[in-house]
Amino acid sequence: MAVKKNFIVKSGIEVADSATIGGVFTASGIVYPTSDGVANDVMKTNGSGALSFGKLAISDLDDVNLTSLEDQGLLVYDSATSKWIASNDLVSQDITSDGGFY
């Protein structure tokens, strides 16, 4: 007979194999989804600690100035500023064969 009990870990817990969580999983105030998304979904937050799966839309890049982006222009990630930059000039971009698309 299974007995339902709560327990408190006071100095850490280590899982040496796999763990299965049934129901809602919350870690450090972040609530994880209870089911998987569909193909090509990304995990998103609502800003209040709840994660969910959904599509990434161009509107999610609200800090990108898209008004200057021309047909077949590029969105380039600038790691120095942690922002996406709209670029129409392929020559100035550093495109490498590091496993990404080029």
d(CA 34, CA 32): 6
What average pLDDT does the segment 40-64 reach?
A: 81
d(CA 31, CA 92): 42
Q: Identify the sign of the CA torsion 50, 52, 57, 61.
A: positive
* Whether pLDDT at 92 is above 60: no
Most confident of 44-53, 64-73, 82-91: 44-53
Residues shown for the chain: 102
Give 59's pLDDT tier (boundaries 50, 70, 90): low
Instruction: Parse the chain into domains and list their residue ranges.
Output: 25-56, 60-94
Question: Can you give the pLDDT at residue 51?
Answer: 94
The reported pLDDT for the residue numbered 98 is: 58
DSSP-derived secondary structure letter, 48: S
Q: What is the pLDDT of residue 80?
A: 83
Pairwise CA distance, residues 95 & 102, whole Å: 6
Q: Is the pLDDT of residue 61 over 70?
A: no
